[in-house]
């Protein structure tokens, strides 16, 4: 075997090992074991974890317009996750009363997202103009064949 062939094989092996190590950097790793493992919401909103570090929903409230925007994100809240769902619902408890928000899929020209393949959803309600916080439940949401039902959260804490 020539020295250039050995060098090429060694380089290929190292690249493969590095790729596998990066891919599995969180495998077999218990995130509950360290209290400082947190992710930043890219839009300054509230992150709601779905599954065991699988996905996140970021909620952002615009009080002036009474709009709540939801962004579907990966487990590290770094990348958008597009879904085909036309909408999903949140049941909010506001001053003891239950209110349903239907968040509808939104096209985003900046990211090239379209309804049917988007990570952004919006709902508008007058009560969102004056209600800064509420307890909520994501009724049902499917992301990449993972169904999430009854996910409770406190807004804006998460």
Side-chain-side CA neighbours of 150 within 13 Å: the count stands at: 0
Q: What pLDDT shows up at residue 25? A: 43
Tokens of 107: 């096209």
Backbone φ and ψ of 73, nearest 5°: -130, 165
Q: What pLDDT shows up at residue 37? A: 52
Q: Is it the case that residue 9 has pLDDT exceeding 90?
A: no
Spell out the CATH class of 44-155. Answer: mainly beta
Q: What pLDDT shows up at residue 39? A: 73
pLDDT for 97-122, tens place per residue?
Answer: 999 999 999 998 888 999 999 999 99
**Gap between the Cα atoms of 157 and 134, Å rounded:** 10
**Gap between the Cα atoms of 111 and 73, Å rounded:** 14
pLDDT for 19-70, tens place per residue?
Answer: 444 344 444 444 444 444 567 877 779 999 999 889 999 999 999 999 999 9
Average pLDDT over residues 80-98: 95
């Amino acid at each position: 075997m020539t020295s250039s062939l050995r060098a090429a094989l060694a380089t290929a092996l190292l690249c493969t090992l590095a790729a596998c190590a990066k891919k599995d950097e969180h495998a077999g790793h218990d995130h509950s074991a360290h209290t400082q493992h947190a992710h930043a919401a890219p839009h300054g909103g509230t992150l709601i974890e779905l599954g065991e570090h699988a996905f996140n929903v970021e909620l952002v409230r615009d009080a002036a317009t009474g709009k709540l925007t939801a962004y579907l994100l990966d487990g590290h809240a770094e990348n958008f996750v597009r879904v085909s769902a036309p909408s999903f619902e949140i049941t909010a408890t506001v001053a003891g009363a239950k209110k349903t928000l239907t968040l509808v899929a939104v096209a985003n020209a900046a990211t090239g997202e379209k309804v049917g393949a988007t990570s952004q959803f919006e709902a508008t309600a007058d009560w969102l103009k004056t209600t800064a916080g509420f307890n909520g439940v994501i009724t049902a949401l499917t992301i990449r064949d993972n169904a999430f039902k009854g996910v409770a959260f406190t807004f804006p804490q998460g």
